Each structure stands twice: as C-alpha cells, then as structure tokens.
Amino acid sequence: AHVRGCRCSSLFLSSFFAGSVCFHSGGKKIVGVFYQAGEYADKNPDFVGCVEGALGIRDWLESNGHHYIVTDDKEGLNSELEKHIEDMHVLITTPFHPAYVTAERIKKAKNLELVLTAGIGSDHIDLLAAAAAGLTVAEVTGSNTVSVAEDQLMRILILLRNFLPGYQQVVKGEWNVAGIAHRAYDLEGKTVGTVGAGRIGRLLLQRLKPFNCNMLYHDRIRINPELEKEIGAKFEEDLDVMLPKCDVIVINTPLTEKTRGMFNKEKIAKMKKGVIIVNNARGAIMDTQAVADACSNGYIAGYGGDVWFPQPAPKDHPWRYMPNHAMTPHTSGTTIDAQLRYASGVKDMLDRYFKGEDFPVENYIVKEGELASQYK
C-alpha cells in the first residue's frame, strides 16, 4: 500500500493489558483514538465507533498477531497517545474525536507508516508533513455522506421553522405561539446555496429538490450536466455573487489552507441580512468570533452545525452561548449506520495494508508524497 518502511524490531512486549502481551513476529502496533462511550457502550451492539467498540476489529487484529491499543486520551505530552507515538506503525483516528497529528508528532513517530481516518475528512493531520515523511494517509470515502446530508437538511428545517425555542418552551412549561411564529418560515421558495458540491453537497441538493426551493452551488468543479439538470441546481462560478442571493447557505467544502477562516467578518457581510448558515464541514472554515458577533447582532438569523475548532469544544467557546444556534457535538457522521460503514472500510484497508495491496484510489489523501486534489 506504498507505506514508509518499518525501522523497528518485529517483536514487542507490552503491559498495556492486565498481563504482558506478546504479538507475533511481523505483527504491527496499531493505535486507535476514538471517543469514550462510558455508560452508553453496552446499549447497542453495533456501537463500534467508540473506545469500547474499537471499530469491532480487536479480535481480528490480535488473532493475527497485531497489538491494538485504543484510547480517547489524545492531548498533551502526558497523554496515552503520546506514549505510543514513537513505536506505533498505524494510527487510526476519527473526525469526531480527532487526534491532531502535527508535524512534531510525525517527526517523533519513527515507525509510523499509515494514518487512517475512520470517517471522512483528514484535516486533523498535517498533510504536508505526512507527505514529506512518506506516510500514507487514507480515509473511508463515502462512509458517512448520507448521514451528514440528512443532518444538514434537518438543521436547515430546525432553524427556518424556529423549532428550538418552541421545544424549550415546552420543557419550561411555557406556551407562547407568537414567540416562535414571528420568525418561522417555510423552506419552499427559499434560495439555498451550497459552498462545495462534492459527495455530500450533491446528496443535499438531491434531498432539497422535493421542497421546491431554488438551489445554487459553488464549487471548483462543475457537476455533471445531466445530474445538474436532474437536480435542478444552478452553478455559481463566483462565490461572492452567490452569497447575497441565498436565504440559506450550507458549507460543504473541505478544510484546507485556502478555506481556513474563509468565512470572516468581510465574507459574512456579503451575505443577505437574516441568512441561515449550516456548517457540518469543519469549524475552522469559519471565523469563530465573526459568527458569534453576527448571530448576536441578528445579521445571521441562525447558525447550525456540529463542527467546532478545536474539538472537543472548550466550555467557553462562544458558539455555545450565541443566540439562535442549533449546534451539537460532532455527531452527524457517526450514526450507527455510518459507524458500521467506516469500521468496515478501516478493516478492509488494514487487510490490504498487511497484504501490501493498494487501497481504493478514492480513499487516498496522501500517497507517495502526493496530496489528494481536494487538499492541494
């Protein structure tokens, strides 16, 4: 699978478990970083995307002589992850609880060959440093696109219909129809623009079609003309021309150096006053304070999404406290269905890696020193 060569002994001794564990000659040390499930771990046998579920691959890995360490402790020099950086061969992490793979960590990871993202989006990795070090970086392309597109549609409706204040009224024992209805709108007839029309963006546009809204999209690559006609979306080459036309803007672009902080105060000012924004892409695409200020002064009528920077979001993150938001932890792409898909994809790539076979070409983010086109 074109990975950096190993420079370590093929035999490791570990006291990570209750007793010493020996793995076979040729075995690999694999570290997985996932979110902790705690009391919810046993509530669903298909809940595999957590520390306890470990992607459902522990028995398979260990029966084949590999050493598999799983943790949620990822930050700082004293973290569990840091203890294993120097001699791990494979790191599996996830956008929902990302292990930030910095250039400094890559430099320490002398035996690291492969970094896998259980899900979609590998911006938590310093991709240029990974490429320079000869690492392979791959993700499970398509594994949670449906999950995210459905979530985006849900948040659009939640914000347009002013749902959350109504829910909060019920919980508090209140009843004030006017307090909800004065800023509740139909989706039909509104103009919805997506910034990015890749796999998720296209799925969202397809799901929006039955709502009879006007659909626009901006992307570096135009959708296939037949599909564009079938969906009924109009291509906008100039983002700044598209933004003021939209009642709803959905962010569907990857986080790159070009898109980091892209939606700052100046860019938000180009939008229509009273715009609704949904961002399930990456939090760092937005200027955090600019969004909070625009929600507070009413320029943005509602902001929803599940992505933050950093993650987990600190308790004092301004998006937690700004008005008219529909924010949650990063959950849209980690439904049970999505977990099963990305767990299966990770297992398939590990199997190929052990056999020295290539991955599906669309899964590569860094291969032989080259970055995938969306990250260039």
- Catalytic positions: 144, 282, 311, 330
* DSSP structural state of residue 4: P
Is 280 among the annotated ligand-binding positions? yes
Is 45 among the annotated ligand-binding positions? no
Is 39 among the annotated ligand-binding positions? no
d(CA 55, CA 52): 9
Is 306 among the annotated ligand-binding positions? yes
Is 333 among the annotated ligand-binding positions? yes
* Residue 243 near residue 192, CB atoms below 8 Å: no
* Residue 67 near residue 32, CB atoms below 8 Å: no
Is 7 among the annotated ligand-binding positions? no
d(CA 282, CA 24): 40
Angle at 116 between CA 367 and CA 348, to 5 degrees: 95
- Answer whether the bond into residue 312 is a cis peptide, omega within 30°: yes
Is 270 among the annotated ligand-binding positions? no
d(CA 340, CA 102): 28
* Residue 290 near residue 261, CB atoms below 8 Å: no
Is 207 among the annotated ligand-binding positions? no
* Residue 214 near residue 191, CB atoms below 8 Å: yes
Is 93 among the annotated ligand-binding positions? no
Is 331 among the annotated ligand-binding positions? yes
Is 145 among the annotated ligand-binding positions? yes
* Residue 42 near residue 27, CB atoms below 8 Å: no
DSSP string, 127-176: HHHHHHTT-EEEE-TTTTHHHHHHHHHHHHHHHHTTHHHHHHHHHTT---
Is 367 among the annotated ligand-binding positions? no
Q: What residue spans of the chain are helical by DSSP H? A: 58-63, 80-84, 103-108, 127-132, 145-160, 163-171, 177-181, 199-208, 225-231, 239-242, 265-269, 288-296, 336-355
Describe the strand order of the beta sheet including 325-327 as a list of residue ranges.
Answer: 233-235, 214-218, 191-195, 248-251, 275-279, 300-305, 325-327
Is 332 among the annotated ligand-binding positions? yes
Positions at the binding site for substrate: 120, 144
Positions at the binding site: 120, 144-145, 199-200, 219, 254-258, 280, 306, 330-333
Positions at the binding site for NAD(+): 145, 199-200, 219, 254-258, 280, 306, 330-333
